[in-house]
C-alpha cells in the first residue's frame, strides 16, 4: 500500500468526517449515546455469534483446502476444482433463490398478507427442491458425459466420477 495508500486513506477519512459535520442530520451520529446503546445487545449476539462461527469456519476450511492443495497432485487438484465448481453451480442458484424468496415473504408479511407470504415460501421451496434433485440426479447419472464435454484428461474425469457421489450427497 505504501505512502500513497496511507495518504489516500487519511484523506478519505478526513473527507468523511468533514462531510458528517456539514450535514445537520448526520451530526448526531458522531456523539456517544451513552450506555443505552448496549441495551438489547445480547439478542444480537445470540444471532450474530453462530453466523460469525459459520462464516469463519467456512473460511478456515477453504484456506486449509488451499494449503493442502500443495500436497496433492495436479490431477487431484483439477478434479477438486471441477467438483467444487459443480457443487457451487447447484448451491449459488438456490442461495440466490432463497434470498429472493426471503425478500418476497418479508414484504408480504410487512404488507399484512400472511397467506401470500406462505405461498411464496411454498413455491420457492418446491422449486428449490425440484431444482436441486434434478441437478443432483443428472450429475449422479450423467456426470461422466457432462465432464467429457469440458475435460479431456481421462485421469481427471476418473477422479471426478469417483468423488462426485459424495459431493452430490452433500447437497
171 pLDDT exceeds 80? no
128 pLDDT exceeds 80? yes
Percent of the chain with pLDDT over 90: 20
Exposed/middle/buried for residue 62 (C-beta within 10 Å: 0-12, 13-18, 19+): exposed
pLDDT at 93: 85
Does residue 99 sit within a domain?
Answer: yes
Continuous H helices in 23-153: 41-68, 74-110, 114-150
Does residue 19 sit within a domain?
Answer: no
Does residue 60 sit within a domain?
Answer: no
Does residue 55 sit within a domain?
Answer: no
pLDDT at 28: 66
Percent of the chain with pLDDT over 70: 92
Domain that holds residue 131: 74-171
Does residue 31 sit within a domain?
Answer: no
Give the chain's domain count: 1
Higher pLDDT, 111 or 169: 111
Does residue 6 sit within a domain?
Answer: no
Half-sphere exposure of 171 (CA within 13 A, CB side): 28
pLDDT at 3: 84
Does residue 30 sit within a domain?
Answer: no
17 pLDDT exceeds 90? no
Does residue 106 sit within a domain?
Answer: yes
CB-CB neighbours of 165 under 10 Å: 13
114 pLDDT exceeds 80? yes
Amino acid at each position: 500500500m505504501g505512502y500513497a495508500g496511507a495518504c489516500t486513506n487519511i484523506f478519505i477519512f478526513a473527507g468523511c468526517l468533514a462531510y458528517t459535520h456539514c450535514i445537520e442530520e448526520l451530526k448526531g451520529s458522531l456523539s456517544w449515546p451513552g450506555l443505552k446503546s448496549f441495551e438489547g445487545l445480547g439478542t444480537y449476539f445470540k444471532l450474530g455469534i453462530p453466523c460469525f462461527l459459520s462464516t469463519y469456519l467456512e473460511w478456515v476450511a477453504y484456506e486449509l483446502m488451499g494449503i493442502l492443495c500443495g500436497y496433492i497432485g495436479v490431477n487431484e487438484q483439477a478434479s477438486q476444482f471441477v467438483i467444487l465448481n459443480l457443487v457451487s453451480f447447484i448451491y449459488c442458484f438456490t442461495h440466490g433463490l432463497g434470498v429472493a424468496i426471503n425478500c418476497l415473504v418479508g414484504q408480504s408479511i410487512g404488507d399484512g398478507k400472511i397467506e401470500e407470504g406462505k405461498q411464496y415460501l411454498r413455491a420457492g421451496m418446491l422449486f428449490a427442491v425440484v431444482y436441486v434433485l434434478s441437478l443432483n440426479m443428472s450429475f449422479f447419472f450423467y456426470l461422466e458425459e457432462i465432464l467429457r464435454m469440458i475435460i479431456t484428461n481421462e485421469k481427471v474425469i476418473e477422479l471426478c466420477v469417483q468423488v462426485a457421489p459424495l459431493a452430490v450427497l452433500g447437497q
